[in-house]
Structure 1
Amino acid sequence: MTGSPLPRAVTFRDLHRPGDPLLLPNAWDYGSAALLAAHGFPAIGTTSLGVAAVYGRPDAAGATRAETIELAAAMRDLGVLVTVDIEGGFSDDPAEVSDLVAALAALDVAGVNLEDGRPDGTLRPIGLQQRIIAAALGHGVFVNARTDTCWLRTGDTLERVRAYGHADGVFVPGLTGLREIEAVVASTPLPLNVLHQPDGPAMGRLAAVGVARVSTGSLPYRAALRGALAAVLAVRGEGAPVPLPTYGQIADLLPKA
């Protein structure tokens, strides 16, 4: 399917400026998205971990397709650009992924994240992921091709980034070394998205090596959980600092696939 990009997608694309990166906060429900919108963020993403946790589903297991669409529909009236984490597209069938992205486009979604990591810790074969990315294109939605080489510690990052060159952008979560980031930037004409890490490079340093987008991922959700636990423990008279829970700690609380 081919077609002209929707105005929202064009605007979203324009926010990806190498050297002046878009800070993309990630919401997990309508309330968190509304709060972020009220504080002036022009674009908001969703976090698959947060959505999975809200609905009591496992993350990254293809279990939240309906819930992801429901949240996208709810965020439609917030007056901000919305990009949706669709994990691996909730299917290995390119036609089904195409139908999903078309449905999200009808909800005025401006972008999607489409990852190659699988629940068993492997990566999709490159050829299949290329076909899935191609199926997601053509709906007027910015397709951010995520590779989990760093996240899962498997595969060749530069090989995957180059293989996904037909996407609109590329996302490498877990990539934190400035030299490695600079090498990825140099390897592709696509805007590079990295995941903010509390102990990683600051925005200014990421901008200096050409990053175009910095996502917060599950960090806001995990910080919210820390705040909620600290508040309740304080009522119980326990005032000790509560550490930020890791992704793995939250994922371990969720039902298994």
Structure 2
Amino acid sequence: MTDHATKAARFQALHRRPEPLLLPNPWDAGTARLLAHLGYEALATTSLGVANLHGRHRAGRREILDNCRAIDEATPLPVNADLENGFADEPAEAATMIAEACAHGAVGASIEDATGDRRTPIYDLGLAVERVRAAVEAARALPVPFVLTARAENLLYGIDDLDDTIRRLQAFEDAGADVLYAPGLRTLEQMRAVVTSVGRPVNVVMGFADPSITLEQLAEIGVRRVSIGGALSRLALRAFLDGAREMREGRFGFVTDAARMSDLLPAFGR
């Protein structure tokens, strides 16, 4: 198996090249191995995918960390961990998740400015910056190079203010974040505005964006990393529901769309 330090160095190098890094989001060891078999160069966990795996809409701290370890151990690829808001409001406490993620095999992780409280969904900018700064300090103290991604979540919570998103990302850059990420960007124009406003690599998640946008277009505007969030998990669940509904109606045509064993065996091992 590839050692942790080698994975960490590889993940950093993937952020330095000119072409975007495609970073898909498996939700268990099996989907991680399938993605590795398809030739992806790195993987990212999805907290929504973990929650769905456990039959809930939110995953717990331990479930996210255990999932990170399972995905890391499944392939030799670098893994980035979705840590939500670090499961704490206070900066130093939230930042402990960075070391935990590293101990569970991750070589990168994200921390977001969403509170988890619907009444006040986004942290005030000052506190959000303190949280990123604490996460950066925790990342720099690790025994391997670690890519810290800071996320501005306001577009997902009804705050339709791209200028505020950019201000937050610029503040997170000043706090030392390695990668900047604003889920909820939908258009190339919005993405271009973000990319040209900051000096660090920008991650775009296509699970919320105009699906007609291509990787080539993203590369042209300077996007450096492209993820999909929980979309692959939701795609799999949609196929499951469609098949289960058809079976409930007494029909079985869905089996012709099932993955062939010959497609699975090379990834899972004979």
- CA distance 1:188–1:198, shift in 2 (3 Å): closer
The code of the aligned residue for 2:233 comes to Y
Quote the Cα distance in structure 1 between the aligned partners of 2:212 and 2:185.
9
Partner of 2:72 in structure 1? 76
Contact persistence 1:19–1:211 (CA under 8 A): no
User: How many pairs does the alignment contain?
Assistant: 233
Relative CO higher for 1 or 2, CA cutoff 8 Å, sep ≥ 6?
1
Return the alpha-carbon distance in structure 1 between the equivalents of residues 146 and 16 of structure 2.
Answer: 18
With over 3 angstroms needed to count, the CA separation of the structure-2 counterparts of 1:128 and 1:213, relative to structure 1, is: same
Deviation at 1:106, TM superposition (A): 2.1
Aligned pairs for 1:232-247 within 5 A: 232-235=244-247, 236-237=250-251
Deviations 1:86-112 (A, max 9, x none): 001111122222322112212331111
Q: Is the 8 A contact 1:18 1:191 kept in 2?
A: no
AA aligned to 2:41 is: P
Q: Is the 8 A contact 1:26 1:44 kept in 2?
A: yes
In 1, are the aligned partners of 2:85 and 2:112 still within 8 Å (CA)? yes
Which residue matches 1:205?
217
Matching residue within 110, 134, 137 for 2:107: 110
Whole-Å Cα distance in 2 between the matches of residues 131 and 8 of structure 1?
28
- Does residue 62 of structure 2 align to residue 66 of structure 1? yes
Equivalent runs, 1:1-257 vs 2, <5 Å? 6-17=5-16, 20-59=19-58, 63-77=59-73, 78-119=75-116, 120=118, 122-137=121-136, 138=140, 139=142, 140-154=145-159, 155=161, 156-165=164-173, 166-196=176-206, 197=209, 199-235=211-247, 236-237=250-251
Tell me the amino acid that sits aligned with residue 11 of structure 2: F
Residue 52 of structure 1 deviates from its aligned partner by 1.1
The two structures have a TM-score, normalised by structure 2, of 0.79
Q: Distance in 2 between matches of 1:187 and 1:218?
A: 27
* 1:212 to 1:76, Cα distance in 2 relative to 1, 3 A: same
Q: Quick one: distance in 1 between partners of 2:24 and 2:13? A: 17
Three-state SS of the structure 2 residue aligned to 1:26 is coil
Deviates more, 1:149-158 or 1:24-33: 149-158
2:221 maps to a residue whose letter is V
- Give 1:8 shift: 2.8
Shift of the alpha carbon at 1:198?
A: 5.8
Counterpart CA distance in 2 for 1:128 and 1:18 is 32
CA distance in 2, matches of 1:177, 1:11: 30
Q: Which moved more, 1:115-124 or 1:171-180?
A: 115-124
Check whether the contact 1:18–1:207 (CA below 8 A) recurs between aligned residues: no
User: Which is helix-richer, 1 or 2?
Assistant: 2
Q: Distance between the aligned counterparts of 1:10 and 1:209, measured in 2? A: 26
Q: CA RMSD in A?
A: 2.2
- TM-score relative to the length of structure 1: 0.83
Check the 8 A contact 1:8/1:108 in 2, yes or no. Answer: no
Provide, for residues 47-80 of structure 1, a one-character-per-residue CA deviation record: whole Å limited to 9, x for no partner.
1111112123433xxx511001111111232111
Is the alpha carbon distance of 1:164 and 1:6 closer, same or farther for their aligned partners in structure 2, counting shifts above 3 Å?
Answer: farther
Structure 1 match to 2:264 = none
Mean alpha-carbon deviation: is it higher for 193-202 or for 138-147? Answer: 193-202
Question: For residue 133 of structure 2, what is the amino acid of its counterpart?
Answer: A
Letter in 1 for 2:227: S
Q: Kindly, what percent of the aligned residue pairs are identical? A: 36
Report the alpha carbon displacement of residue 19 of structure 1 after superposing the two structures with TM.
5.1
The one-letter amino acid paired with 1:12 is F
| CA 153–234 in structure 1, closer or farther in 2 if over 3 Å, else same | same
Counterpart contact for 2:25–2:229, Cα < 8 Å: yes
